[in-house]
């Protein structure tokens, strides 16, 4: 009888620690993967459609100071507007679209297994 009580207590303790672990560590669920996959896919589509982005003055200064170029200090000194044009590579859109498709298909397979 005592052996049964010990095994039951261990089983309850294991379930409690597993539940506490799941509450502490958020495991990705299928709907999380679906959202991430769709977001990545549509950001990739956006990168494929648009050839360049023009940043406003504030974000251009931020990028220039982070990249260490002297353009921001020169523009501040001359008080001229600074607008940086960003041209992402063509392969970036395809990479984001493929990663998004993989995550989306993985989430759909998780829906079926649950």
Digitized pLDDT (tens) for each residue of the chain, 114 residues in all: 556 555 655 665 666 566 665 566 666 688 889 999 999 999 999 999 999 988 888 888 787 777 765 555 555 545 556 788 889 998 999 999 999 999 999 998 887 655
| Cβ pair 100, 39 in contact under 8 A | yes
Q: Is 6 helix (H, G, I), strand (E, B) or coil?
A: helix
Q: How many beta carbons lie within 10 A of that of residue 76, not counting itself?
A: 13
pLDDT at 89: 92
What the block records as the tokens of 4 is 């049964």
d(CA 68, CA 104): 38
pLDDT at 77: 46
Q: How many beta carbons lie within 10 A of that of residue 94, not counting itself?
A: 13
Query: Has this prediction a pTM greater than 0.85?
Result: no
Start-to-end CA distance of the chain, whole Å, equals 37
What the block records as the tokens of 45 is 């589509």
């Amino acid at each position: 009888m005592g052996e049964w009580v010990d095994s039951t207590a261990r089983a309850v303790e294991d379930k409690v620690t597993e539940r506490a672990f799941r509450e502490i560590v958020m495991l990705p669920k299928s709907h999380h993967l679906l959202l991430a996959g769709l977001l990545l896919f549509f950001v990739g589509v956006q990168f494929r459609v648009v050839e360049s982005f023009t940043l406003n003055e504030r974000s251009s200064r931020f990028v220039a100071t982070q990249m260490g170029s002297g353009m921001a200090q020169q523009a501040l000194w001359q008080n001229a507007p600074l607008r940086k044009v960003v041209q992402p590579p063509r392969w970036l859109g395809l990479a984001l679209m493929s990663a998004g498709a993989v995550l989306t298909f993985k989430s759909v397979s998780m829906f079926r297994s649950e």
